Amino acid sequence: MEITVSAPGSALSGTSTFTVTGVDEIDLLTLGHMPGGARRAHASPPQDIDVTGLGLRAAQVRVLAQSAILVPGEHITITADYDPAAILDVIHHDVPGFSMIEYRASGPQQWRVTVTRVSC
């Protein structure tokens, strides 16, 4: 992504172009940048996640992305065709704060786990 900055009349007079790497849409929203201005920015509601048929790494990435945006009191439900204990370990290790884990169904064909964010 390239960003062009123009600051006439300041110490940064002229126009500069920067190449930004490693910044995604979530980072830009966090920083208050949104096409159309901050007035149009809004967070997406957390989604329930079905990782049935996904490999462990792909499932971890999807669940981690959704659990990271939870605010205290919000929850997601993970549905899998295997015990998602390894996914839950990633949440426990990589998501700041405290999350409550509750198994709703425990196999053998389907597991359902609700993850509720308790604190940030």
Residue 15 has pLDDT above 70, yes or no: no
How far is it, in rounded angstroms, from Cα 39 to Cα 90?
34
Number of domains in the chain: 2
Strands 98-106 and 75-80: unpaired
Q: Are 36 and 54 within one domain?
A: no
| Chain mean pLDDT for the chain | 75
Q: Give tens-digit pLDDT for 20-61.
A: 444 455 555 555 554 555 555 455 567 789 999 999 999 999
Q: What is the pTM of this model?
A: 0.60
Q: Are 34 and 59 within one domain?
A: no
State the pLDDT at residue 72. Answer: 87
State the pLDDT at residue 9. Answer: 53
Q: Are 54 and 110 within one domain?
A: yes
The candidate with the shortest Cα–Cα distance to 46, out of 77, 24, 83, is 77
Q: Are 113 and 74 within one domain?
A: yes
Phi-psi region of 11 (alpha: psi -120 to 50; beta: other; left: phi over 0): alpha
State the pLDDT at residue 40. Answer: 52
Q: Are 33 and 68 within one domain?
A: no
Q: What is the CATH number of the domain that holds 73?
A: 3.30.110.40
Strand order in the sheet with 98-106: 49-50, 75-80, 111-119, 98-106
Structural domain of 7: 2-40
Phi, psi of 68 (to 5 degrees): -70, -25
Q: Are 66 and 112 within one domain?
A: yes
